[in-house]
Structures are given as structure tokens and as C-alpha cells.
Chains A and B, each alone.
Chain A
Amino acid sequence: MTIWILRRLFQAVLVMLAMTVIVFVGVNVIGDPIEILISPDADQAERLRAIAALGLDKPLWEQYLRFLWGALHGDLGRSFVFNEPALRLIGQRMPATLELAVTAVLMAVILGIPLGLLAGLYPNSLFGRAAMAGSILGFSLPSFWVGLMFIMVFAVQLGWLPSTGRGATVTVLGVPWSFLTRDGLAHMAMPAFNLALGNIALVLRLTRSGVRENLPMDYVRFARAKGLSPQRVVFVHVLKNIMIPVVTVLGLQFGSTVAFAVVTESVFAWPGMGKLIIDSINVLDRPVIVAYLMMIVLMFVTINLIVDLLYTVLDPRVRIGGAE
């Protein structure tokens, strides 16, 4: 077991290292940092001095080691635009993104599981069919366009919700949060729901197929034969067995939700790190791009690691299989 965990940790570190190589090569070999860092009207001597100062005259492997050393010490360079450490910039924007992503995942749970239960219990009813058709639509809808339509309907025509921005925030532990104020919640409603749409469809389908698979099983028949109420059979016995795949997928999905927030944040001008990265790509602010990519890769590797470890705790079959 310990060996398995150590091996899994080692794998995670390897993936992280591979990603630093990819990002480093992408930025420094495919793109030319000299062109961006040094002003075009600098003369030859100035250019050479700047190249030497940045260490760009060194062999590539040495540059990579310097980059890695800096990354390990939390130094990924300074943003050209904001003239601040790139990592601090990402850190400042991250709470807004996480707030949005967590709300979206919560919405998916609150709406997706009950709808999926209903669709699974009554698969041939009008509702069951409508839920399945709706979930296909949930996957097919271009999310950014749906966001625009939300703005069109709820902000421009009905005037119920504010169209863009984050609204009033309350600072807790030095970080501003929107979900603590009415205004902030109103600003968050549309982007969070927009981001949640795909997840709602996913959770609905997972829950539905889980119910359909579990209902004919022996333990359900036994529980019914024992005289348990139908509510108890569904909400305690069946639901418990459905939750494992749902929780796993949602855990993995959280990372994608944060990545996909790039789109939602651009539509609703939500000041998170997704909007920052798009702005940075457009002005070629490479340290910020690198910092964002490294942060998000770290997040993914961590989430995958946690899900894998939780699996061994939750499911004895994986534990035994992995120990071999």
C-alpha cells in the first residue's frame, strides 16, 4: 500500500516535470523571448547585453534548470504589463475563479442529482424523456453563446441581473469574496449557472444510469422485501451506491470547470484568472501565461492524485489490485 502511494506520488512528480519541459520548450523554443523582451529599436550591443542579462546566451538545458529552480522557489518571472510577480498576479485572481467554479459544481449537485433520480425512476415518463433530450442539448450548446443569450435576456431585456463584473465583495482573510453580498450573488448567478450547464447534464446522466443499473439489483429487492419504505430504499440504499461514481466524476470535473472558466469569465467579464490569461495571451505577457499554465497543471495533477488516493480508501478492490 505504502509502495503503491509512493509510486503514485513519483508518477505525479514526473508528470509535473514533463509539463515544465513542455511549457518551457513551448515558450522559449517555439516562441522567441528575445523578440518580446527587448525593444525592436535597441542596437546590437544593447541586444547582446540584454540577452546576457536574461541568461539567453546559455545552453538550453542550463536555461531550463534556471527556470525550474525559479519555479521551485515560486519565481516565474514578472509580468511585463503589470510589472508584478506573475505568480502573485495569478494568486490575486484565483479566488474569483475558484468561487465561480465551486458554485458551478454545487449547482450541478443540487440540480443534477434530483433531476437524475427522477429521470432514472421514471425513464419512460414525459419528464424522463425530456431530461435526456435536454442533457444532449446541454452537451451540444456552445457555452459562450448561451452566456451571451443569458445576458441578452436577463440583463438587457428583463433587467433582472447585472450583465458583467463581480459586484460588491466582502474581504475575509484578506481575500475579497462575492458570495457574501446580495449584489455579489446577483452578479454570480448567470456566470455560475452558465459554467454549471455542462456539469448538470453530466451529473443528470450519471445519476440516471446509476439508478437504472441499481434498481434491478438484489440488494434493492431485499430492502423492499424487508418492508422498507420506497423513499428509504431510494434515498438511503440506492443513492449511497450511486454517489461513488458521481463524486469521482465531479472531483475530476472540478479541474475542467476551472479551465473552462476561461470562456465564462471572458463572456461575463468576471475578473478571475481565466480572463487574465486570455488578456495575457493577447498581449503576449509570457511570464503570466507560464505561471497560469504551471498553476493549472499543478492543480490537475493534485486533483488526479487525490481522486486516485481516495479510490483506494473507498474501494477495497482497487486497493487489493494496486498492491499486487
Chain B
Amino acid sequence: MNPKREITPFRRFAADYAGNKLAVVAFLGVVVIVFLAVFASFIAPQNPYDLAQLDIMDGRLPPGTKSGAGWVYWLGTDDQGRDMFSGILYGLRISLGVGFGSAATAGVIGSALGLIAAYAGGWVETAIMRLVDLQLSFPAILVALMILAFLGKGVMNVMLALVIVEWARYARTARAAALVERRREYVEAAECLALPQWRVLFRHILPNCMPPLIVIGAIQVASAILLEATLSFLGLGVPITEPSLGLLIANGYQYMLSGKYWISFYPGLALLVTIVCLNLVADQLRDVLNPRLQR
């Protein structure tokens, strides 16, 4: 048999995932968006934070207008004469950074606590899960609002608020998965080898709990980006020196009523496309990774 033709788990996964064309498009969309955000400084025609490159005379130009320097503002300019396309690319960078960063941090903390709760049992489990229940009984926006009201705004504070909002869902998912896994025979075998508990937990049980955690992770990235945008729109999120998509939309709010739609419209569209793509990817991951639906 040709070794190149071997069906590895990853190939089977990729083939399953490709079964839904829309999900493939969404995945490519996520790749393109991440690429645009990471290489924003090479792709953007202008550095929107370099005041020397901004011309206040170019303020609030509609999409398609030529700039003084001869190139075209395809998405118009904001009140500072900043090219909206460049602003969106740099804003994406902050939105995605905050979203992925906080979802990943929350994932590590939440999963670890969930696993510990499932493995330790007793009062440790009760304490952790009560905290999870308490937190999930309040909506995310309220918890984040409360934390930012205490801490004040700033990128780190927003990320901290998002981590505090999001860890609970990971913990619940990790515990549910780990409770199933810890009764399996391979765990018993590992325990018989007298491996240290942390090793059984994180090297044997954790890898088998990954599928549901990956699905939750994809959803949580999307909701973190959305929540950050909402908080920034309300003026509680990132500072004006590091405008994310939400803050860009907020900047356009006052020009909305005079019909200058593009300052708010295009950053919102970028936000919408990002979140829809992430949610579609998460949906397909859930279908592919769900053992009950496995063919």
C-alpha cells in the first residue's frame, strides 16, 4: 500500500470538514482575515496612527475619492482624514488579538479548573462548579460591565474582563468531558502505573477531552470579539489610541445622522464577516467532532 495514501485521523477530519462547502468558504474567510490583520502594516496603503501621513483636509471623504497623494480611498475617510480601509485592517489586528488572546487564556484556565473539578471531586468540585453556575446565571455583558466599571478601560483590562467572563463555559465543558473519560480503562491503566496525578490528568485525560473544548474555543473567540466590540462602542473598552473595530464604529456614530454612513458601515461589515465566518467554522467543527454523528 502506498504510504502517502494512508488515512490519518487528520485527513479523515479534513475530509469530513470539507463536506460542507459553506464551512470551507468560512474557514478560508477566517484565514484571509487573520492574514490581513497580521500583515496590516504591509497591506494598508497608510499607517492610520502616523499623524504625518494623515491630511485633515481629506476628512470625511466618501468612498472612492482620490487622495491628495494620488491613490484612492476605496472605503472613504473618517473625520481625521484617516483611510477607512487602513483603519479597519489595523482595527482587525486589535480586535482579533484581544479575541484570540482572551479566549485562549480563558481556555487554559477554564479547562484546567474543569479537569481538576472532575478529577478531584468532593468540595473542590463543588466550589469550582458553584462558581461556574453563579457566573453563568448572569449575562456576559453585565459581568464585563461590572469588571470594567471597577478597573477602568484599557486593553489589558478588557482582556481580563473577557477572561473572567469566558472561563466558566470552558470549565463546564471540560468537567463534563473529563467525567466521562476518567472512568475509561486507559485512565485506570495509567493510574496502575502509579503515574503522578497531574500527568494522568493533563497528559492522558486532557487530550481526549479536546474535541468539545475546540468547539467551545471557536465559539468563544467569536463571542469575545463581539463583546470587545460592544464594550469599545460603549466607550468602556480599548482606549482611543488603539481603536478596535468597535471603537471605529463608535467614531462614525455622530456622522451617521448627516448621512456619512461609511465611517460606521465598513468597520461593522468587517466585524460581521469575521464573526459569521468564525461561527460557521464552529458549527461545522461541532458536527465533525461530535462522536454521536460520526459515520
Report A's interface with B, CB cutoff 8 A. 15, 18, 22-23, 26-27, 30-31, 136-137, 139-145, 148-149, 151-152, 155-157, 163, 255-256, 259-260, 262-263, 266-267, 277-278, 281-282, 289, 293, 296-297, 300, 304
Contacts and interface: CB of A to CB of B under 8 A. Distances in A.
B234 A278 contact: yes
Given A145-B264, A152-B264, A281-B145, 15 more contacts: A26-B146, A26-B150, A30-B151, A31-B150, A140-B226, A140-B279, A142-B229, A142-B249, A145-B233, A156-B256, A266-B234, A277-B149, A278-B235, A281-B149, A297-B138
A281 to B, nearest CB: 5
A277 B145 contact: yes
Interface of B, helix, strand, loop or mixed by DSSP? helix
B1 interface: no
A256 B235 CA distance: 20
B98 interface: no
Contacts of A155: 257
Nearest to A152: B261
B234 A263 contact: yes
B158 to A, nearest CB: 14
Given A139-B279, A281-B148, A293-B146, A304 B137 contact: yes
A259 B141 contact: yes
A148 B264 contact: yes
B272 A300 contact: no
Nearest to A26: B150
Contact of A142 (B134, B139, B275): B275
Contacts of B288: none
Interface of B: 134, 137-139, 141-142, 145-151, 222, 226, 229-230, 233-236, 246, 249, 252-253, 256-257, 259, 261, 264-265, 268, 271-272, 275-276, 279-280, 283
Contacts of B236: 278, 281
Contact of A140 (B149, B230, B253, B276): B276
A259 B143 CA distance: 10
Given A136-B279, A262-B145, A148 B139 contact: no
A278 B153 CA distance: 13
A296 B139 CA distance: 11
21 contacts: A136-B279, A137-B276, A140-B226, A140-B279, A142-B226, A142-B230, A144-B229, A144-B233, A145-B272, A148-B256, A151-B256, A255-B139, A256-B139, A259-B139, A262-B145, A263-B141, A266-B234, A278-B236, A281-B236, A300-B138, A304-B137
Contacts of B230: 142-144, 263
Given A148-B249, A148-B253, A278-B235, A136 B276 contact: yes
